[in-house]
Structures are given as C-alpha cells and as structure tokens.
Chains A and B, each alone.
Chain A
Amino acid sequence: MEILKVDNLSCGYEDNIVVDDVSFSVKAGDFLGIIGPNGAGKTTLFRAISRILKPRQGNIFYKGRDVGCISTRDFAQEVAVIPQILEVPFAFSVEEFVLMGRFPHVDRFEALKKADYAILENVLDFTDSAPLRKRKINELSGGERQRVILAQGFAQKPHLLLLDEPTAHLDIAHQAHILDLLKRLNKETNLTVIIVLHDLNLASSYCDRLILLGGGRIFKEGAPQDVLTYQNIEEVYKTVVVVRENPISRKPYVILVSEEERKIKEKKCKKGQD
C-alpha cells in the first residue's frame, strides 16, 4: 500500500526554489533514506513532507489524501516527526515529556487513560529509557536525550515516522543504537520510516531504499548498491571517494579520500606510467 506520494513537488523560501520538481512514493513498511550534500534540499523536502513548509507547486499525499487538507491533530495521530534540533527550555521530567506524545490521542477535557500509561511504559522499555524516567530532560546526555525524543515520537503510535538526522552529534555506539531501534520497529510493526541522513555508510547499512538529492532534484533513487556508486557520489558531492563492499552486509561502503593522499596516489600513478 502506498502511504506517501510526493508529486512534482517544488518548494523553497521566498524567491529561492530549493526543491525542484521532485516526485517519489513510499510504500507502507519502507525504510527510506534521503541523502545529499549540504544545500541539496534534504531538510527543505523534509519540512514540506512534515507540513511546515507549503508546496510552491505539486502535491503531497498521505494515504491518498492531500496533506494540506488533513487537520493538525489527525495528522499527528498517524505521523510523528523528529526534527533535527529540539530545544526544551523547560525542565520536564522524562515521563512528562514522553507522555506529550499521547497529546493527539487525548481529548482536551479528558485525563490520560491507563492505555496511555501502558504505552509510556512500553516505549520507555523499548528505548531503554525506563531508568531515566524521573530525570529532567535537560540534564540528560546527548545519546539519552535523543532516545527520549524518539520515545516521545513512538508514543504517538505513528504509522509513518519522519526523522531529520536523528544521529547527528552522537558517537558511533549511540548512532547504531538509535538506528537499530528504528530498524526493529520497522521490521516488527511495519512502521514506515523516512529518514534524512548525512552519513552515507549509515544510510547504506540501514535503509532499504535511498534517494540521492543534488541541486534540489532527485539525482538517483534505488537500493543502496545502485545509488552509492563512486560515480554518483563524486558527481553530486564533487569529492573523491572509493566505494567498497561491507564484508558482512555486502552493502556498499564509502571511503573518503583526502586531498594529500589523492595527490600522492596520482604521483605514483604517473611514475608507474613513466
């Protein structure tokens, strides 16, 4: 079943078109990664899908309905959005913060029900955040904080989860932990995930399908091995890379080549030719 369809979408800020005529569709249960260099339009596309930015042209459909016509509350019942940066100036406890994820499911004049608290326990356990429950959100470490933010998103019980670089600023263990959680939820509950990632190797290891953006357009779309070729990457990112196969997963692995090493290599090649 098609859960999201982006149709000839163009959008941007004021006179500046950042995303230009982009179309793609996402099936329920997909794990889709959006990659591309800085300024390629990843975050702009993300903001359009998450309805912060209105399309200049084209449409976005969620389960066949134009997202512009869905009420804020109805949308939040089915789609959870984890933004790149979330400032929490007030010292909410982890429990209070995660329970905010139940907001779209609770009526204004209603108290939270047993079922909501059951979901709280469930997502705290799932994200290994249960021991943090009484702590204040602004006292957590970066990795703990990100898990709690994710737990809030899970508490919405979404069908579609949108994430904008959830692993930025985390060490590799926390990066793997966050993405493992997403992968597990994706496999176990058929949750559809659309994730913007900077790290090409994380994208390759975790996503079933990738969209490579360049200059506001889709440069290449497909399985990681089709998208992450050195030709594609060098053309879009304008930098030299080597792509190898990850010996365990058989997925592509992108290796950066520094300018110094490149020059040494080039000299050696010349000598060899001489």
Chain B
Amino acid sequence: MDNKKCIGIFSLLILMLLASFALASLAGGSELKAQDAAYYLFHPNSSGIERDIIWKIRLPRVILGMLVGAGLASCGAVFQGLLRNPLAEPYTLGVSGGAALGVSLGVMFGIGGIYIPVFAFCGSALSILLVYSIACRKRFSNPTLILGGVILSFLFSSLVFFIFSVSRAEDVHGIILWLMGDLSSTSAPLIKIISFFILPAIVLLFFFSRDINILTLGDEKAFHLGVNSRQVKKIIFIIASFITGACVAASGIIGFVGLIVPHFMRKIVGVNHRLLLPASVLAGAVFLVLCDAAARVIIRPLELPVGVITGILGGVFFLSFLLKAKHWDIF
C-alpha cells in the first residue's frame, strides 16, 4: 500500500473517530437537545444538571466505549495473526466464560459491587492464560488453542449455570445483566484505571507488530527469521490477556468487536500488522461508540445493552459482506 493511500485512510479513520465522539456525546436517552449538549460540552465550568449529564455520564461513557472498542479490536487482530486463525478473538479463546465464572463466584460469595470488575478481570485473563498453557503442552499447535478455548468456554458456562441454580434469583439477575455487556456503569476512577491498563498495552503491542507479521509464516519460519517464537508469543499473549481482562472488567461481555473489526480493516489496509493494528484500534473505537449511541436512542428512553447492538449490527453487516464479496480470502 502506498503512503498517500495510507495517510488518506488513517486521516479518514481519525475524522470518523472525532465525528463519532461528537455524535455520541450529543445523542442520548434524556430530553437534552443537541444544541444544549454542545453548549455544555464546550463550557465545562457551567453548572446544572445538563452539564453533569454531559460531563459525568455521557463523556465518561463515550471515552470508555472508545477504550474498550480499541482494546477488543486490537486483541482480535493480534490473536488472529498470532494463531493464523480467522476465528480467533478474545471470546473464542474462552474469555467470556472465564469472566462469567469469575463474576458468578464473586456474587455467590457475596463479594459483589465494586469488586465485580476485579473478578471479571481475573476470570477472563486467567482463562486465556489457561487456554495458552493447555496448548503449550500440545506444543502449541494453533487449532488446539481454539479447541481449548471452545471447550473451556463450555466447561465454564456449565459451572456458571451450576452457580445460577444454587443462587438467589436477584443475584442471578444481576449477573445476567452484567453478562450482557454495557458501558453505562462508568465511574471516573474506573476509566482512569482501565485506560492505565489498555493504552500502554496497545502501544506495546504495536511494537510487536513486525513479530506478529513474521509469526503468521509459522513458528519455524519465524524462528529462521530471528523471532524467538515461543517467548514472543508468550509475551504477546500476556499483554493481550491484560487488555481483554481490562475491557471485560469495565464493560462486561461485548462480543463481535474483536472478531469483525480486524477482518474489515484487513480488507482496507492489508495484512501488515504495523498498519492493521492501529487501523483496528481506531475502527474498533468508532464502531463501539456508535453502537453504544444506537443502544441509547433506539428504544428511548429505555436502553439496550450495547452487546446486543454489536451482535446484531456486526452479525448482519458481516454476513452481508461475506455473501457479497466475489471471492473471500479469509486473510
């Protein structure tokens, strides 16, 4: 891809990010008019309920959406490249099951509330690392890894249902709400903590993008080109598990972003991870923020969980793309 086209695409992505930021902070469930919202957006020192809606509810939510979208999309791109498998993404690697189990355990033992994100983080990060270590024993063949993830997911969801069946109905309801994934339970400290995890980790991943390119040629060729496959894969896996864990902790389970965003961006910027990774980060942020805005306005004044929107929008969009494409190379 030549430089001009590349600069064009990235400028467009950045513009879209700004546009979706504006759109999402102006649109919402309350009766607040867009002009007023814009006024308060540019006058943070004013006072009143409207100002608080913008600065304490909408903006944190938009920022969190961007962080989580960027994190999930970058992890998806990395896992697909590393495992040379188009199905790889945090959720096919057993993350959702792990997170659900972590949260359910927490709720069952009555340690819910503000500790839920901690349980979610531990559950999801640990399940990815568990899948990884299962696959390591089998000398890390890539199909094993996906298989391990799928099996672990089943195992975890069975355990979750077991916990459901012995818990009180209110607890179960709480867990299910959390599992559907939404960005509304945002607090400023949580966002600070999450961005502290996600942003540096994404930057770090970027510095491994050349390694990921080479690892797509298989472990042996990568070794011949000077990549210490085992060690590098382990490092990348740990970083990506961290990002995933942080995303899940902040927003529950939001599927599909990690799967489809990298596939779309591959069609646009190509397969070089030095471009694909930043492009997926930007596109993931745009996608999730727009989905969340839609979730807030579709059945106003009620709200849909954003996971429902990403699932429906993403699934339909992706399928139609898949059916329209003349010939579909997975990568």
Interface residues of A (CB under 8 A from B): 50-52, 71-73, 75-77, 79-81, 83, 86-93, 96, 100-101, 103-104, 106, 108-109, 138, 156
- B217, B226, B270: the one contacting A104 at CB < 8 Å is B226
- Which of B224, B225, B272, B329 has the most A CB atoms < 10 Å from its CB? B224
Q: A83-B221, A91-B271, A138-B329 are in contact. Are A77 and B213 (CB under 8 A)?
A: no
Q: B331 and A75: CB pair below 8 A?
A: no
- The 8 nearest A-B residue pairs measured at CB: A76-B226, A104-B226, A81-B224, A90-B271, A90-B331, A73-B226, A72-B228, A90-B216
Question: Can you list 23 A-B contacts (CB < 8 A)?
Answer: A51-B223, A52-B220, A71-B228, A72-B223, A72-B226, A72-B228, A73-B226, A76-B224, A76-B226, A79-B224, A81-B224, A86-B221, A89-B84, A90-B331, A91-B271, A91-B329, A91-B331, A100-B217, A103-B225, A104-B226, A106-B210, A108-B207, A108-B210
Alpha-carbon distance A51/B222, docked complex (angstroms):
12
Alpha-carbon distance A81/B223, docked complex (angstroms):
10
B84 / chain A contacts, CB cutoff of 8 Å: 89-90
Alpha-carbon distance A75/B222, docked complex (angstroms):
12
Q: What is the CB-to-nearest-CB distance from B200 to chain A, in angstroms, rounded to a whole number?
A: 15
Alpha-carbon distance A89/B217, docked complex (angstroms):
7
Q: A91-B329, A91-B331, A108-B207 are in contact. Are A52 and B216 (CB under 8 A)?
A: no
B216 / chain A contacts, CB cutoff of 8 Å: 88-90, 92
- Does residue B174 face the partner (Cβ distance < 8 Å to A)? no
Q: Categorize the interface residue count of chain B.
A: 20 to 34
Q: What is the CB-to-nearest-CB distance from A111 to chain B, in angstroms, rounded to a whole number?
A: 10
Q: B225 and A86: CB pair below 8 A?
A: no
Q: A72 and B213: CB pair below 8 A?
A: no
Alpha-carbon distance A87/B208, docked complex (angstroms):
21
Alpha-carbon distance A257/B218, docked complex (angstroms):
40
Alpha-carbon distance A33/B329, docked complex (angstroms):
38
Q: A91 and B270: CB pair below 8 A?
A: yes
Q: A72 and B207: CB pair below 8 A?
A: no
B214 / chain A contacts, CB cutoff of 8 Å: 100, 103
Alpha-carbon distance A188/B270, docked complex (angstroms):
37
Q: A109 and B207: CB pair below 8 A?
A: yes
Q: A76 and B217: CB pair below 8 A?
A: no
Closest residue of A by beta carbon distance from B208: A108
Q: In chain B between 94 and 125, which residues have their CB closer than 8 angstroms to a CB of chain A?
A: none
Q: A86-B218, A89-B331, A90-B271 are in contact. Are A96 and B228 (CB under 8 A)?
A: no
Alpha-carbon distance A80/B226, docked complex (angstroms):
10
Q: What is the CB-to-nearest-CB distance from B215 to chain A, in angstroms, rounded to a whole number?
A: 10
Q: A80 and B213: CB pair below 8 A?
A: no
- Which of B1, B226, B270 has the most A CB atoms < 10 Å from its CB? B226
B210 / chain A contacts, CB cutoff of 8 Å: 100, 103, 106, 108
Q: What is the CB-to-nearest-CB distance from A53 to chain B, in angstroms, rounded to a whole number?
A: 10
Q: B220 and A101: CB pair below 8 A?
A: no
